[in-house]
């Protein structure tokens, strides 16, 4: 009889221990699964962060009459991997057109005429891009009027535009003000003026500091 009671008690204890074991195993399993879900979610979030940066489409769009701004644009392409697009005037600027010592030269007259909008030869599609580096030479302290033609022809609202220019000595501020006032819906990023002596290292450092 005693033996039977002892066997019964042992049996009950074994069953209770078994139940406790199953319950705690289930709890552990649930916890482990939750941890995995959290980890998966975190890694997705970080993928998205990276994706956003990597997915931004960059274009370097420039006008250059004598090649200096073009060279800077090529350095920016090298630094960013963006698409290089030239703004080509319908009527090419000749040396005499560019003679700033002559009040009657084409460039001087255009810069003095607020309505001047020199035509652009090529079709440029900006829709695709999130970030546009826009480059030009300084003419009479300002943007060449063909850049205003470009702005008239494209909807750049809500895009980020990073300006760059080249000049003999004039800084970018005058042209930046003109552009900011011309279209207030664009996210103009204060850019930089480069001399004809610039090089790949200077441009790459500038691009890296911008962090776009």
Ligand X SMILES: Cc1cc2nc3c(=O)[nH]c(=O)nc-3n(C[C@H](O)[C@H](O)[C@H](O)COP(=O)(O)O)c2cc1C
Q: Which is nearer to ligand X, 169 or 211 (CB)?
A: 169
Among 149, 167, 175, 198, binds ligand X (CB under 6 A): 167
Q: Which two tokens stand for residue 126?
A: 């900006």
Q: Which is nearer to ligand X, 120 or 138 (CB)?
A: 138
Residues 97-136 that bind ligand X (CB under 6 A): 98, 100, 107
Quick check: 168 binds ligand X (CB under 6 A)? yes
Q: How far is the CB of 161 from ligand X (least distance, A)?
A: 18
Q: Which is nearer to ligand X, 54 or 114 (CB)?
A: 114
Residues 67-96 that bind ligand X (CB under 6 A): 67-70
Q: Which is nearer to ligand X, 56 or 99 (CB)?
A: 99
Quick check: 137 binds ligand X (CB under 6 A)? yes
Quick check: 143 binds ligand X (CB under 6 A)? no
Which residues, including other chains, have CB under 8 Å from residue 15's CB and lie 6 or more apart? none
Q: Are 62 and 134 in contact (CB under 8 A)?
A: yes
Ramachandran angles phi, psi of 174, nearest 5°:
-60, -45
Give the span between the Cα atoms of 193 and 141, in whole angstroms: 12
Give the span between the Cα atoms of 189 and 163, in whole angstroms: 7
Residues 2-41: x where in contact with ligand X by CB under 6 A, - otherwise, as a string: ----------------------------------------
How distant, in Å, are the alpha carbons of 6, 8, 10, 25 from that of 17?
16, 14, 10, 12
Helix, strand, coil fractions of the chain, as percent rounded to 5? 50, 15, 35
Among 133, 139, 188, 206, binds ligand X (CB under 6 A): 139
Among 60, 61, 65, 148, binds ligand X (CB under 6 A): 65
Which residues, including other chains, have CB under 8 Å from residue 48's CB and lie 6 or more apart? none
Q: How many residues does the chain have?
A: 212
Can you give the binding site for ligand X, defined by CB under 6 A?
Answer: 64-70, 98, 100, 107, 137-141, 166-170, 196
């Amino acid at each position: 009889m005693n033996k039977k009671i002892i066997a019964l008690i042992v049996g009950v204890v074994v069953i209770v221990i078994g139940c406790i074991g199953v319950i705690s195993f289930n709890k552990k399993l649930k916890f482990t699964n939750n941890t995995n879900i959290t980890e998966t979610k975190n890694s997705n979030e970080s993928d998205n962060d990276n994706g956003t940066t990597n997915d931004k489409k960059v274009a370097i769009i420039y006008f250059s009459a004598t090649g200096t701004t073009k060279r800077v644009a090529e350095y920016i392409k090298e630094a960013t991997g963006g698409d290089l697009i030239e703004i080509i005037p319908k009527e090419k600027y000749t040396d005499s057109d560019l003679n700033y010592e002559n009040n009657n030269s084409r460039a001087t007259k255009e810069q003095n005429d607020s309505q001047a909008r020199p035509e652009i030869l090529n079709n440029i599609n900006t829709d695709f891009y999130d970030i546009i580096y826009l480059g030009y030479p300084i003419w009479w302290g300002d943007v060449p009027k063909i850049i205003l033609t470009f702005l008239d022809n494209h909807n750049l609202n809500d895009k980020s535009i990073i300006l760059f220019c080249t000049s003999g000595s004039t800084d970018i501020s005058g042209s930046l003000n003109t552009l900011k006032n011309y279209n207030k819906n664009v996210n103009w990023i204060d850019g930089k003026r480069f001399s004809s002596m610039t090089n790949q290292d200077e441009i790459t450092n500038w691009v890296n500091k911008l962090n776009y």
